[in-house]
Structure 1
Amino acid sequence: MNERIRHLLPNDRMKIFQKEPFFEDAETVLTLLYQPLISIKGVAVFQALWKESHYQQPQTSISHHQMMNTLNMTLDDFYEARKKLEAIGLLQSYKEEGSFRTLYYILQCPYSAKGFLNDPMLSVLLEHHIGRDSFQRLKKRLLNEVNLPSNVQNATHSFDDVFTTVHPELIKEKQVIEEPETQAIKTKLPLEWLHKMLTQQQIKAQLILTQPNIEYIEKMIKIYDVDYLELEKALIWAVNEQQEFDRKEFQDMCKDIFYKKHGSIPPRLYSKEQKELEPEPKKKSNQSEQPKSKEEQLIEHFNSISHRELLEDLSASGRASMKEIDMLTSIMEEHGLPQPVMNVLVDYVLKRNQNKLSKNYIETIAAHWSREGITSAKQAMQIAKREHTIYETWKQKKNQTQKKRQRTKEVLPKWFQDEREQKKQTQETKTQTEPQGDVKKKREELEAFIKNYSKTKH
């Protein structure tokens, strides 16, 4: 608030100008693409200034108090939103001191949807803010790409095929047009050092360090907090066998560097004035002190590498599959697992699953560990050991049950089966004959009693 009072007061006047006409999809782009980065207040301030610029006369002005009432917003909120608009490239502000202060607001044209999504810095930040799946769905909705059959050929006539600025009879020979000298590349990067470093690796630096590539590199290292020493490794990794700069590889490498340094939370836009938790001071480690056990050495190893480096160490070629790296990075971001925990998970799955990385299996464990609140390599190793013990116990019981079933289903000799069948038949015939003999005996006894009774009566 103290800063705002020095730079902006409610009675300060404002004049608003629109630098150039906006694209037709400006409203959509502001709502769907810019808003996640600058918040709904930032978009509301821009739209209010935009509408006001249509009706404001060149010689007139309004106070900031009037704009506050229009937006139903405090001046502090307006000032914070204004700074975000300036930082993102949607607004330029100029001030004029006099009997009263006047602010000149120059509205900059927002990107079109295609321009925004093709900008490496804005598109990467948006993807981190809304998530990869939402970003891909949004990109598919906004970019209407024309899909032609694969066998078509371009039949479009060029300008030179149809037109000429000189009468055909006067055309003699085509003059060779000298190409203008290439302009020096403007950058803060140490180009001489980068050229020397790439040349030592037998890489053609002039093919890699072009103006578009330099601009892309500058934006990526700013987003992912990559220093010059880390840049060397990322740059070498991103050059393929055809001496081409692979931007996707470079971004993935920068992303790995960021996660290794700052944890699993992806880079986002934060206000510098926002109070952040001060990191705990690291304990000074005694150089002579060595880890007490193999477990501590392993924990230290998991804390100091990324899952990319883990897979590279386990690969005979020293290279990791980009498909697997993308999958693991996506799962780590989705479930918010710190890098050391993800390293333990990858190591655990590889040992349990015969060196195979199954997405469904990894995602199931990642979701479980996220719910359990696992935040360190030590916790991850403990829960992995516990689950492994449970699994081994269950496996042992299962094997014992299967052995019992196999014993009960043992094949008996044929002579033993015949003898058992014969005994069974003998018992059945015996049980069938015994009741009949008893009935016959009782009948004879009854007949004898009746005869004796009739004799005594007579």
Structure 2
Amino acid sequence: MNQRMKHLLPNDQCVIMKRTAFFEDANTVLTLLYQPLIGMKSVALYQALWRENGARSSQTAFSHHHLMGILNMSLDEIYEARQKLEGIGLLKTFKQDETYRTYYYVLRKPLSSYQFFENPTLTILLEHHIGKEAHQTLKQQLAPSQQLNQAIDDVTAHFDDVFTTVKHLRQPAKKTNEESIVMSSDLPLEWLYKMLTQQQIEPKQILTKSNLNYMERVSKIYDVDYLELEKALLWAINEEMSFDRQEFLDMCKDIYYNKHGSVPPRLYAKQDIEAANNEAQQVEANHSAQPSKAESKQNKLIQHFNTITHRELLEDYAASGLASMKEVDMLTNVMEEHGLNQPVMNVLVHYVLNKNGNKLNRNYIETIAAHWSREGIESAQQAIELAKQEHKLYQTWQQKKQRQGSKQSNSKKSSEVIPKWFKEQKQKKQSEDQSNNQQEAETQDEDLAAFFKSFSQPKQ
């Protein structure tokens, strides 16, 4: 949640853009192919953004509160779903910071069903998520393959064979095989070239653009390092000295299962894994040294103050999730005037809100800010410790300011001109109240005397 609060708040605005037309089977692909990988919430968010883009005019902004309402999802869930869409390649996000923070969500076109099954990363992961049989069924339904007989020759004319842009033709340049053009890659290309040359294998025939792309994606999925990659690559070269993708895939699977056991690779959110690792480390640390509950709570509070702004702090206190921009500007000015950093200012705002009935008094805030500036407070922990030590002093300052405020209100009252008839009416009412109280007291005395007298009479 802390990570989300740093990057996304309910009143942040968003604008949805769609630059290209989608394929006709986009909804089917999203539901049947993407959803097993990224989950229902991510697909629901994508479809909601898609609908909002169609229903609104271009560049029309709205808040994330609206998304929370129509999706019935918390902002943390929306943020996590958005990150998955970004990671899978369905969304690009841009941010603009002004009076209100605005996010521009650019919807990216989902792959067609054919493109999806041709993508080695997505089709391999989908098979691990839903099983080989279900994967084959979907592939046959959504992307049926129609293979031509191998004896049939491809005689399709290329663009350069039919068209030209100049009237006087020159001698045609020697054609190059596009598959032999090596593009940039994260793989160690120089080392792979050298290794294949030593094995008396022609590198250009193996390390083509499409083969390198396939090797890079599959090696990432199955956690294959460079030494293991050499073994898988040599295994995948068949007798015709060509690259067999199925053999390469099978060898990468064997490498993965030997390293990680029988659990197949799947898409996991890095944030969840990091949180689980941090929790495990925290448990180990607690076994070695158990801090007190107060210290643990203070450490969490300090960490919170170090990762948010005073605007986000005010939004946390507000039931609506919205902060007053007037208060935000006031706090920003105080922070800049007295040279306080953000964590220290967060502690100051937290202290004043808790001790002053959730009210922000500028004079009171400036008094404490000036004090902390003179003391050279530079961290949230120092600010908390000083606030504890000087709590009585701050209470005295607050009471003094309250007395000054009450004196000013009394002086205003005394300066007011009260009509004579109002004074006479007030005196008359006071005298009537006194006479009524006296009569009630006499009646109560008589009743009490009669009560005791009944006990004093002898029984007959």
TM-score (structure 2 length as normaliser): 0.56
Give the C-alpha shift of residue 185 in structure 1.
2.0
Q: Tell me: CA distance 1:104–1:264, structure 2 relative to 1, closer, same or farther (3 Å).
A: same
Give the C-alpha shift of residue 175 in structure 1.
3.0
Q: Which amino acid aligns with 2:34?
A: Y
For residues 77 and 165 of structure 1, the distance between their equivalents in structure 2, rounded to whole angstroms, comes to: 54
Q: Which amino acid aligns with 1:45?
A: L
Report the counterpart of residue 371 of structure 1 in structure 2.
none
Q: Tell me: CA distance 1:106–1:161, structure 2 relative to 1, closer, same or farther (3 Å).
A: closer
SS of structure 2 residue aligned to 1:96: strand
For residues 4 and 231 of structure 2, the distance between their equivalents in structure 1, rounded to whole angstroms, comes to: 43
SS of structure 2 residue aligned to 1:274: helix
Q: Tell me: CA distance 1:155–1:247, structure 2 relative to 1, closer, same or farther (3 Å).
A: closer
Q: Tell me: CA distance 1:162–1:213, structure 2 relative to 1, closer, same or farther (3 Å).
A: closer
Give the C-alpha shift of residue 41 in structure 1.
0.5
Rg larger in structure = 1
Give the C-alpha shift of residue 18 in structure 1.
0.6
CA offsets per residue over residues 57-111 of structure 1, 9 Å max, x none? 2242110000110101111000000000000000000000000100000000000
For residues 206 and 152 of structure 1, the distance between their equivalents in structure 2, rounded to whole angstroms, comes to: 26
Report the counterpart of residue 95 of structure 1 in structure 2.
95
Contact 2:16–2:59 (Cα < 8 Å) also in 1: no
Give the C-alpha shift of residue 153 in structure 1.
5.5
Give the C-alpha shift of residue 177 in structure 1.
3.1
Q: Tell me: CA distance 1:78–1:256, structure 2 relative to 1, closer, same or farther (3 Å).
A: same
Give the C-alpha shift of residue 165 in structure 1.
6.4
CA offsets per residue over residues 343-402 of structure 1, 9 Å max, x none? xxxxxxxxxxxxxxxxxxxxxxxxxxxxxxxxxxxxxxxxxxxxxxxxxxxxxxxxxxxx
Please state if 1:177 is matched with 2:183.
no
Q: Which amino acid aligns with 2:229?
A: L
Report the counterpart of residue 112 of structure 2 in structure 1.
112
Report the counterpart of residue 36 of structure 1 in structure 2.
36
SS of structure 2 residue aligned to 1:105: strand
Q: Which amino acid aligns with 1:232?
A: E
Q: Which runs of 5+ in 1 are unaligned?
A: 282-458
Give the C-alpha shift of residue 163 in structure 1.
6.3
Percent of pairs with identical residues: 52
For residues 190 and 164 of structure 2, the distance between their equivalents in structure 1, rounded to whole angstroms, comes to: 44
Q: Tell me: CA distance 1:175–1:229, structure 2 relative to 1, closer, same or farther (3 Å).
A: same
Please state if 1:9 is matched with 2:9.
yes
Report the counterpart of residue 219 of structure 1 in structure 2.
217
For residues 71 and 119 of structure 1, the distance between their equivalents in structure 2, rounded to whole angstroms, comes to: 30
Give the C-alpha shift of residue 144 in structure 1.
3.1
Which of residues 222, 227, 233 in structure 2 aligns to 1:229?
Answer: 227
Q: Tell me: CA distance 1:207–1:5, structure 2 relative to 1, closer, same or farther (3 Å).
A: same
For residues 162 and 245 of structure 1, the distance between their equivalents in structure 2, rounded to whole angstroms, comes to: 30
For residues 135 and 160 of structure 1, the distance between their equivalents in structure 2, rounded to whole angstroms, comes to: 37
Contact 2:182–2:207 (Cα < 8 Å) also in 1: no
Equivalent runs, 1:31-430 vs 2, <5 Å? 31-146=31-146, 158=157, 175-177=171-173, 185-275=183-273, 276=276
Q: Which amino acid aligns with 2:246?
A: K
For residues 228 and 158 of structure 1, the distance between their equivalents in structure 2, rounded to whole angstroms, comes to: 41
For residues 59 and 69 of structure 2, the distance between their equivalents in structure 1, rounded to whole angstroms, comes to: 22
Give the C-alpha shift of residue 12 in structure 1.
0.2
Q: Which amino acid aligns with 2:123?
A: S
For residues 159 and 244 of structure 1, the distance between their equivalents in structure 2, rounded to whole angstroms, comes to: 25
Q: Which amino acid aligns with 1:9?
A: L
Higher mean alpha-carbon deviation, 157-166 vs 128-137, is at 157-166
For residues 157 and 203 of structure 1, the distance between their equivalents in structure 2, rounded to whole angstroms, comes to: 31
Q: Which runs of 5+ in 2 are unaligned?
A: 285-460
Select the structure with the greater relative contact order (CA < 8 A; seq sep ≥ 6). Answer: 2
CA offsets per residue over residues 248-272 of structure 1, 9 Å max, x none? 1101100000000000111000111
Give the C-alpha shift of residue 135 in structure 1.
0.3
Report the counterpart of residue 450 of structure 2 in structure 1.
none
For residues 238 and 15 of structure 1, the distance between their equivalents in structure 2, rounded to whole angstroms, comes to: 48
Q: Which amino acid aligns with 1:3?
A: Q
In the alignment of these two chains, the number of paired residues is 276
Please state if 1:25 is matched with 2:25.
yes
RMSD: 2.9
For residues 258 and 90 of structure 2, the distance between their equivalents in structure 1, rounded to whole angstroms, comes to: 33
Give the C-alpha shift of residue 122 in structure 1.
0.4
For residues 44 and 228 of structure 1, the distance between their equivalents in structure 2, rounded to whole angstroms, comes to: 39
CA offsets per residue over residues 211-264 of structure 1, 9 Å max, x none? 111111111111000011111100100111111011111011000000000001
Q: Tell me: CA distance 1:146–1:99, structure 2 relative to 1, closer, same or farther (3 Å).
A: same
For residues 270 and 81 of structure 1, the distance between their equivalents in structure 2, rounded to whole angstroms, comes to: 13
For residues 273 and 56 of structure 1, the distance between their equivalents in structure 2, rounded to whole angstroms, comes to: 33
Give the C-alpha shift of residue 146 in structure 1.
3.7
For residues 268 and 64 of structure 2, the distance between their equivalents in structure 1, rounded to whole angstroms, comes to: 26
Report the counterpart of residue 450 of structure 1 in structure 2.
none
Q: Tell me: CA distance 1:14–1:134, structure 2 relative to 1, closer, same or farther (3 Å).
A: same
